[in-house]
Structure 1
Amino acid sequence: MDVNTARVVVTLLSFVMFIGIMVWAYSSKNASEFDEAGKLPFDQD
């Protein structure tokens, strides 16, 4: 395996990980948790 092949593999793995994070972040089952976490700074004691 030469350097260029390793670069391609790392780039593809990074892209797949990026897409996975985007799918996880925008999935509807996590929306309520993210909305709740987003409101935390505005909650008063």
Structure 2
Amino acid sequence: MDTITILRIFFTVLTFVLFVIILVWAWRNRNSVQFKDAQHLPFDQD
């Protein structure tokens, strides 16, 4: 394998790991209150 292939594999694995971390962070119960508040922001009137 050449260097560019190894870098592509590393980047793909790194991107997948980051995706899973963000997915777990977004679905945690601790963050659900903040997201529920944020989903109503477009409908709030000043």
For normalisation by structure 1, the TM-score amounts to: 0.88
- Indicate the percent of aligned positions where both proteins have the same amino acid: 42
Separation (CA, whole Å) in 2 of partners of 1:43 and 1:7: 45
1:23 aligns with 2:31: no
Q: Which runs of 5+ in 1 are unaligned?
A: none
Runs of 4+ in 1 over 3 A off after TM superposition: none
RMSD across aligned positions (CA): 1.2
Q: Which runs of 5+ in 2 are unaligned?
A: none
Counterparts of 1:33-44 in structure 2 under 5 Å? 33-44=34-45
Q: Alignment partner of 2:41: what SS?
A: helix
For normalisation by structure 2, the TM-score amounts to: 0.86
